[in-house]
Structures are given as C-alpha cells and as structure tokens.
A and B are shown apart, each in its own frame.
Chain A
Amino acid sequence: MLAFLVQRISQALLVMFVISVIAFAIQDGLGDPLQQMVGMSVSQQERDAIREELGLNDPLPVQYLRFAGNAIQGDLGDSYFYSKPTLDVILEHLPATLELVIGASLIIIVFSVPIGVYSAIRPQAWLSKFFMGVSTVGISIPVFLTAIVLIQLFSIGVTVDWFPSDTGWGQWLNGALSTDGGLPSYGRGEELTHLFGTWYSGFFSTGGLMHLILPAVSLASIMLPLFIRLIRAEMMEVLQSDYIRYARAKGLSAGRINFLHALKNTMLPVITVGGVQIGIMVAYTILTETVFQWPGVGLMFLEAITRSDIPLIVAYLMVVGLIFVITNTVVDLIYGLVNPTVKLTGKKA
C-alpha cells in the first residue's frame, strides 16, 4: 500500500513539475511584466534598473526556482486585468465551474448506468438499438452546437405553423412541435446563496437551478454517449465470462447476477476511464461556459486569452493541471481500494 502510494504521488509530482516548467516557459516567453508596470515614457536606464530589481536578468533556472517557490506558497502573480492576485480571481470563478461539473456528472451517472446496463443485458431490444443510435449521433454533435440547439429550443422557443391551424390535428401537431422557451441561457442568475469564502451556490434556489439546467445538460450531452457505450461494452464482455455462467449455475436470480456480479466487475474499468474523462470535461467547460456566459474558470480563461492576461493564463494552467493530477491520482487510489485484485503495487494481479 505504502509503495503504491509513494509511486503514485511521486508520479503526480513529476507531472506537476513538467506543467510548472511549461507554465514558466509561457510566462517567460510571452509576458513582459515591465510593459504592464511602467509606461512608454520611462527611460532605458530606469527599465534596466527595474529589470535588475525584479530579478529578470537572473539565469533562467534561478528565475524558475523563484517562480516555483512562489507558486507553492500560492503566489501566482497578479492578473493584469483584475489587478489582484490571480489565485483570488480563479477562486472566485471556480465554484461556478464546479457546480456545472457536478450538475453534469449527476446527469451522466443517473442516465448512463441504467441505459448502459439495459442495452448490455438486452442488446437486441429495439430500445437498446435506439439508445445506441442516439449515442452515435450524440458523439458526433459538438458540445457547443448542442448548447446552441438547446438555447433555440428551450430558451428562445420555436413556433411551428407548418400544419393548418384551422383543423384540430393541425393545431395539435403545431402545438406538440412548438416549444415555449423561457429557460435562462445567460449566466447564473441573481438568486445565489453564499456558502463560504468565494462560494456562491445556485443549488439552493429555483432561479439558480433553472440557470444550471441548460449548461449542465449541454455539458452532459457530450460525455453521456461515451459513458453509455463504455458501460455497455464492458458489461457485455463481463456477461460472457465464466464466473457469470457459474453464478447462473448456482441458481442465483437474474437481478443478483446482473446487478451485483456483472455490474461490480463492469464499474471497475469504468471508474478508471471515468477519472480520465473528468479531465476532458474541464476542456468542455470552456466551450459550455462560453456559450452560456457562465462565470466560471473556463470563461475566465478564454477572456484572459483575448485580453492577453498572461499571469492569469499561467495561473489557470497551474490550477487546472493540479486538479487533473489530483483527480487522476485519487481515481487510481480509489481503483486500488475498490478492486481487490489490484494488490496496490500498481499492477493488476
């Protein structure tokens, strides 16, 4: 157990080191702190003096060590745009993103497991074929496009008048195909509850939840098909195994076989892949937040790019990198704990 822990953590530290080097390289290559600090009128001598003072003339390794040392203490520099520590800016925006990810994850878990399991148990049923068809189409629709379609349908609304409105069936069809719209599609709304620190939550008010619906569904839409396919494929493989046949030979009920024997073996690989997908989800939050102007770190990052706010870009990279590394390590550890066949040496027994 200890060896496994040490191995995983040293690996995580190595990855963090690489990320910090990249971040430092970006900062060093793109950001000229002088330009932001002083105006054009300052003489070359004064500039050189400030450079010397800031340590910008030191050798690169020294500058890196200073950068890394500050980063470990939580100092990632000040944002040009917000004129305050970048970490504070990120912490202000992080809760919005976390709530979006939590909302989407809930949708994914609630739908992917039953649909994946059902279509694995009954691969020939028309409902399974329908689900598989929908998920193939779902994978092909970029997340921002789903978001736009959802906005058109449920925020703006669609009025259909293709059918004659002077007949009953025409009216009914027009009504059935039209949507009301009205769901909010911009930001998080006003009704936020203050939890602690910089965390304002939308989970505790109708308004907050209404604002969360479309962004969370959009974000979930891209991952849901992947998870359904993954769970189905894993489960079908497990159902072929000898121990499932043996469970049947013991006279167990189909429910116990499918939902204990098969599902438990299915979910183990799903956990690992799922952990990796969390990283992918962070990338998709950038797209989702852009469409819905959701005030999270993704939107903040994109705005930082357009504003060339280098310290904020670098800080975002460091924080997101840290989140990735932590989730991956935690997922590995959980997998080791849940799966009895992993002897926590990092290799499958």
Chain B
Amino acid sequence: MALLEVNDLDVRFAVRGGDLKALRGISFSLDKGERLGLVGESGAGKSVAAFSILNLIAKPGYIAGGQILFEGRDLAAMSERELRGIRGNRIAMIFQDPMMTLNPVLTIGTQMVEAIQAHRKISKKEARKIALDRLQKVQIPSPEKRLDQYPHELSGGMRQRVIIAIALLLDPEIIIADEPTTALDVTIQAEIMALLLDLCEQENVALMLITHDLGVVSQVTQRMLVMYSGRIIEQGPTREIINDAQHPYTQGLINALPQMGEPGERLFQIPGSMPSLKNVPTGCPFHPRCHFATEQCKQAMPEYVRSGNVNVACYEVANLIEQEKRMQEAES
C-alpha cells in the first residue's frame, strides 16, 4: 500500500455564480521515501493540490469529492481535530515565500517550540533541544543565537533553512514543498534544493515537490506528474518523461527549456496560454493550443493510456500506441 494515495480528488472554489473547478478528478500516489514532482504552469492547480492534502485550501476553496488516503485513512473525511494531529507532525509543509511564512512578531525559537509542543507532551527545554538539533541539521551558522532572533533578522535563504528545520522537527513521513526556492535569490536556490534533497534522503522522508522548474524536477525527483488546467495529463518515472515525453504539452514544456535549444536559437514557445478556470474548454483542456488537436479532442476528456511506465491522457498518443500494436500484430 502506498503511503499517500489520492483518488479522484475534486476541489472547487465557491464563487458568485457557481463553483470553479480547480482540480478535476486527480489521482496519484506517493510511496515511503519517494520523491514526487508536480509540474505545470501557474494556475494549473499544483498549489491547490498541495494544500488540499492537509485541507488547507484558502476559502472559498473546498474539497468537493475524492479520497486522500494517508496510511489508509482518508484525510478528506477527517475532522479538523484529527487533521491537526497529522499537520506538521506526520505531513509537514514548506511554503513558497519564507518572508511571508514565519510570523514576524514571534521568535524563531517560539515558532519551533510551539510546533513540537502541539504534538508532543514535552517540556519547553526538551523542545528547544530538538529545535537546536534541527537547526544544526540545516547547517545554520550559530544556531543557538537564531532561536532568540526574529524572522526579519535573518536573510531569505536562512529563513527557508529555518522552515526546512521546522518541517523536520517531528520526523514526518511526508514533506510537501510548494515552490520552496522560487522566492529566493538564484544563487542560493540550488543550495537550498540540495539541502532539502540531502535531508530527505538521510531521513527517508517522502517529498512532494511542487515546481514549474523542470530542471529541478529532473534532478531531484524519481516520479513526476504534469498538471494542466486542474488535471493530471501525464505521470510516470521522471527520467522516462524527461527523455521521451508523450503528451504534446509536456513535450512543449521540455522543448521550451533553454538547454534544449542551440545557442543563439530562439526558444521554443507553446502558442497561447492556459485557459482560466472560468472558461475551461470542452474535451481535452489543451486542445486549443495543441498541433495535433482533432474533432475528437474537443468532444471528451481522453482516458489515460499506458506507454511504457508512463500514463498519458491524450488521443494522439493513444492512436499512436494503437497503430504500433496493429503493426506489431501485422508483423507477427
């Protein structure tokens, strides 16, 4: 059994004049110690997916259907009280902007100790000891001093180290990291990412990494999902997808990477932009931007087909596989 199994998750935003469907029946799983990447443009639903796992979607968002099974228990059906026991304890989160994540008026120590004491009945002194240990783990210089400092006294990179330390406080099973490096200086992005990767490997923590950076995904994760307009359109082993993307959208994303082109050549661009939640096209949401779009694509959402170890939702890919099969049958 997978550590985390998301089945057919539906998330909606209740706004005037009806619901907006932010996630439309997404399913994926995460094994113990596995590192999974969630990729897509902004607005694709990556962050909503990340936040909905611990039911932390900002209002007016709500989980409209589906299951989120963590060790077999459905988080979507849990009471707030039960969920609180899991948040930060079994599943920890790392937010995008470390400047906004830490409470400006509480010391680092307070914010670490309270996280421990919310889940363990131990003294403040012991809690501080744990906090200190984690600060050492994330290689913060003079960690003891940091405990009594306020967030604004630390640099952005240091704050994100503190956030990582907080995530590790209670030895969680899963860390969900929502674009943990985008708000940081480019020079320290790699440093923080490497630290996160190291610690996850060391502690055998499963990592769910939300990012729009395919480079990071290919270096850090073992499996990846590509999201588009609230749906997963392709998922499978990272290496396979990066080397041989099946879905036209994923292909477009990879071709748009600078390192894929020749120096001096114009970068590839996917024409058009992702539809907003207010007017999602019928059928495959990518069809208005897709070179291979046919009448079929406008009618209904394609089913997932398997190509190698990768699951893809695309009629074109399905047709190709079908053809191959027929050719093989004809040959034999």
A binds B: yes
- Min CB distance B218 to A, Å, is 27
Q: Are A340 and B118 in contact (CB under 8 A)?
A: no
Of residues 334 to 349 in A, which have CB atoms within 8 Å of B's CB atoms?
339-341, 349
Task: For the complex, give the distance between the alpha carbons of A143 and B106 in Å.
Answer: 39
Contact of B101 among A242, A251, A268, A340 (CB under 8 A): A242
Whether B102 contacts A243 by the Cβ 8 Å rule is yes
- Is B15 close to A, CB under 8 A? no
Number of interface residues of B (CB under 8 A): 28
A125 vs B114: C-alpha distance when bound (angstroms): 30
Task: Pick the residue among A245, A341, A349 that contacts B105 (CB under 8 A).
Answer: A341
CA A105 to CA B150, docked complex, whole Å: 31
Q: A246 near B105 (CB under 8 angstroms)? A: no
Contact of B118 among A242, A253, A265 (CB under 8 A): A253
Q: Are A249 and B88 in contact (CB under 8 A)?
A: yes
A-side contacts of B85, CB under 8 Å:
251
Chain B, residues 141-171, CB within 8 Å of chain A (1/0): the string is 0000000001010000000000000100000
Query: How long is the Cα–Cα vector from A251 to B150 in the complex, in angstroms?
Result: 21
| A residues in contact with B1, CB < 8 Å | none
User: Are A251 and B105 closer than 8 Å at their CB atoms?
Assistant: no
Shortest Cβ distance from A268 into B: residue: B105
When the two chains form their complex, are residues B87 and A265 in contact, meaning their CB atoms are under 8 A apart? no
A249→B92 CA distance, assembly (Å): 7
CA distance A265 to B102 in the complex (A): 12
Q: How far does the Cβ of B242 sit from chain A's closest Cβ, in whole Å? A: 30
Are A251 and B100 in contact (CB-based, < 8 A)?
no
Q: Which residue of B lies closest to A256 (CB)?
A: B114
A122 at interface by CB-CB < 8 Å? no
Return the chain B residue nearest A343 by Cβ. Answer: B152
Closest to A261 in B: B103
**Do the beta carbons of A242 and B97 come within 8 Å of each other?**
yes
Does A252 belong to the interface (CB within 8 Å)? yes
Closest A residue to B105 by CB, please name it. A264
Residues of A within 8 A of B100 (CB): 241-243
Residues of A within 8 A of B89 (CB): 251
8 Å CB interface, A232-278 against B: 240-243, 245-254, 256, 260-261, 264-265, 268
A339→B114 CA distance, assembly (Å)? 20
30 contacts between A and B (CB under 8 A): A242-B95, A243-B100, A243-B101, A243-B103, A245-B58, A246-B102, A246-B103, A248-B56, A249-B56, A249-B95, A250-B88, A250-B118, A251-B85, A251-B86, A251-B87, A251-B89, A251-B115, A251-B118, A251-B119, A252-B114, A252-B115, A252-B118, A253-B84, A253-B118, A264-B103, A265-B103, A265-B104, A268-B105, A340-B150, A341-B105
Interface residues of A (CB under 8 A from B): 240-243, 245-254, 256, 260-261, 264-265, 268, 339-341, 349
